Structure 1
Amino acid sequence: MFWFLLIALVVVVTAVALAVVGGGDGPGRTATGGLADAPPDRPEAWLPPDRPVNRADLEALRLPVAARGYRMAEVDDVLDRLGAELAARDARIAELEASLAGAQAASMGRDDLFRKPGDTAEESR
């Protein structure tokens, strides 16, 4: 009985090994006969590299989940990118607001808005 079980075990292991290694172009197999590579089990944290991030990009963003939460490196990359873009936008807004204030002052004919207190018109020219 022992020899029968041992031979049956060898036959089953051999059959499974042949099924995995060889077997043609069935579903899930490559042209060389081996198993095809599995697709990645986690989505990429994708943000467009060639343009600023917009609301739709953030709504579509899905961060990959690890065993104990989110993957820290990918979350840090996303937060760094968003922080840099927000800082650039804040700087641009401040620049445009200063430009608008200067244009409004010039249109009102008040050049004294840009002088320091105590300066006279002759000193600033």
Structure 2
Amino acid sequence: MFMFFFLVVALAVVVAAVTLAVLGGGGRGPLPHVAPDLSGDHSLAPDRPVGREDVDALRFPLVLRGYRMADVDDALGRLGAELDERDSRIADLEAALAGARAGRGAGPDRGTEEEQR
């Protein structure tokens, strides 16, 4: 019985010591703030469209609880804006192509059989 009581007290002392060290007991203050890892270029190039290789090379700096939300939000916002721009450009080109096909009428190259119906 004495051994069990001793182990419970020793466990409580260890838990208390770790808690005090983490929360800043002993006059040293809490654990020091660590600056985020900013090594390497983890952002997307602002001066050109984003390509597949840019997305494959994209790495975010790690912080205590994962990734910095601002970095991830910036990258996702940029990718979303570029996808919207590309979708708009594709829609414009498809509309221009449809207009050109309609303007040609019965020319020699009228597209596939499904487009002629």
What range describes the TM-score normalised by the shorter chain of this pair?
A: 0.5 to 0.7
- Structure with the larger RCO, 1 or 2 (CA within 8 Å, 6+ apart): 2
* Paired letter, 1:48: A
Aligned residue among 87, 98, 101 for 1:101: 98
The amino acid that maps onto 2:57 is: A
Find the partner of 2:42 among 40, 45, 57: 45
Runs of 5+ consecutive residues of structure 1 not aligned to the other structure: 1-39, 110-125
Q: Is 2:68 aligned against 1:83?
A: no
Counterpart check, 1:73 vs 2:70: yes
Give 5+ residue unaligned stretches, structure 2. 1-35, 107-117
Q: CA RMSD in A?
A: 1.5
Tell me what 2:60 maps to.
63
How many residue pairs end up in the alignment? Answer: 70
- Choose between structure 1 and 2: higher helix proportion: 2
Amino acid at match of 2:55: L
CA 1:41 to 1:63, structure 2 compared with 1: closer, same or farther past 3 Å? closer
One-letter amino acid of the counterpart of residue 93, structure 1: I
Structure 1 residue ranges, 4+ long, deviating more than 4 angstroms after superposition? none
Match of 1:8 in 2: none
After superposition, the C-alpha distances for 1:33-81 in whole angstroms (9 at most, x for unaligned) are xxxxxxx833342211111000001111111111111110000000010
After superposition, give the CA deviation of every residue in 1:94-113 in whole Å (9 maximum; x if it has no partner). 0000000000011115xxxx
Q: 2:62 is matched by which residue type in structure 1?
A: V
The structure that has the greater radius of gyration is: 1
Percent of aligned pairs with the same residue?
61
TM-score, length-normalised on structure 1? 0.52
Q: How does 1:111-122 map to 2 (within 5 A)?
A: none
Q: Given the two structures, how large is their TM-score scaled by the length of structure 2?
A: 0.56
Q: Secondary structure of 1:52's match?
A: coil
